[in-house]
Structure formats: structure tokens, C-alpha cells
Amino acid sequence: MLTQDEPASTNAIQILPSADRYVEQMEVLMARVYNLDPRDPESGIFTVDHFRQHLAVFPEGQFIAVDTTTDTVVGFTVSMRVHFDPQQPMLASWWELIGYGWLNTHMPTGEWLYGVESAVHPDYQGMGIGKQLTNARLETMRRLNLRGMVAGSAIISYHTVAGTVPVEEYVADVIAGRRFDTNLSKQIKMGFKPMHIIPNYLEDYDCAGYGVEMMIENPAYVPQPVVTQPVRPLVTRPATA
């Protein structure tokens, strides 16, 4: 763990594909970021078994940030593929959308990347690691020729005004730049477009349960031709006497 006298060097941070040998560190990191016990089934955070399942289901979508001076995982991101219609809001809770952590809702032929989770150790925040992890996701989106990426953004600063400001007004203010939300504002700055407000997205005081569906399109997407099977002519036997 860093102290204020020992700031991390950004040159020492590398974004790498997740690997099995790091899953224990990833579990510890997520528990540290959210101050929750991964062994509590009600905590809603990932365990070693979850992270191993993510690697088995969709290895291309899993990345870690490693401090190479100590071989320590200081950030990670989890993704999966989904079918998505920008005109239809994804109103399920985050935990339901990701198959309760197991990514059994991953669709191998999904045309969109779904951002499941991203976390950075508190001692390493503010160094651009979250942006680097997002860039790794977007590169995966382009490499797989997906239509874009979609994710839910918890509006984690909303609790400060939730008693007096309706959520629709709050989100509109953040989009217009009249308010700053610690999470949503950063994602907008990275190019994500807010789409729909999601009630009951998380059981979290900071966002009062609300999330915002976010989308970024792949400008390099190349539509794939629809392959149809040729229609075989109906063969009939000639009539016999």
C-alpha cells in the first residue's frame, strides 16, 4: 500500500489482460474499494470464483492494472457481450444484468460490449488508471467490431441533494455541466452518452439506488452481411401409373 510519501509512478502501471494468478488480488481489491466482505453472499461483490468464471466466459473482456514495481493489482475491469437496443432502456438491476456476478447473461454473439465493473485502488485514484482501463475496453470493442459499449453509471454524488432535487433534474444538471457527479461526469467526459435513468439499479446510499444507462458507439463499426441459407427447390417425384 502506498503512503503519501511514496506516490505511485504512472510509468510503473501497466494494463494487462486478467489472468488466473491475479484473481485473489482482484477479490481483495474489490473488497477494499467497496469496504465489503466478499464472503458475504449479500455483499454483491465478486469472489475469486466469480473472477475465474469471467475469464472462462469472456477472457477478451477482462483487464487489470498492475503496479509492476510490486506486481500488485491496483485496478481491474470486467466486461461481457450483450444484445442491446438503444431505444429500449435496460431497467433490470446491475446484479440481475450480470447474472448475479457469474456473467451467465453474456451473449457470445452480442453486438455490444457491456461494462460490468471497474475499480481502482483508492491509493492509485486520480492517476488516469480508470481511463486506461476504459481505453482497453474500447480497443476490445473495436477489435471485435462491436457496435459500441453500454454501461450503467451509478450517480454516486446524488445523495448530497437527493432529499431536495428530483433525480431527473439532477441528471439533466450533470449532463449540462451545472453539477459535477464523481462518476457520471467523468464518463460523460470520456465520450459516453447518457441514455436512460435506471431506478433500483444498485442497493447503494450514495446514488439513492439510481443508475444512468450510458452508451458510446464504435465509429469504426462495419456492418456484417446477413448470411442466409439458399432455398432449395422442392423436388417432387413424377407420378407413376
Q: Is the whole model's pTM more than 0.85, yes or no?
A: yes
Domain residue ranges of the chain, discontinuous segments joined by + = 10-147
Three-state DSSP class for 12? helix
What pLDDT, on the 0 to 100 scale, is given for residue 239? 54
> To which H or E segment does residue 151 belong?
strand 148-154
> CA–CA separation, 54 vs 104, rounded Å?
9
Positions in the chain short of pLDDT 70: 1-10, 226-241
What pLDDT, on the 0 to 100 scale, is given for residue 234? 57
Average pLDDT, the chain: 91
Summarize pLDDT for 37-51 with one digit per residue, the tens: 888 877 889 999 999
> CA–CA separation, 2 vs 75, rounded Å?
14
Burial class (CB in 10 A: 0-12, 13-18, 19+), 66: buried
Taking domain 10-147, whether its CATH number is 1.20.1530.20 is answered by: no
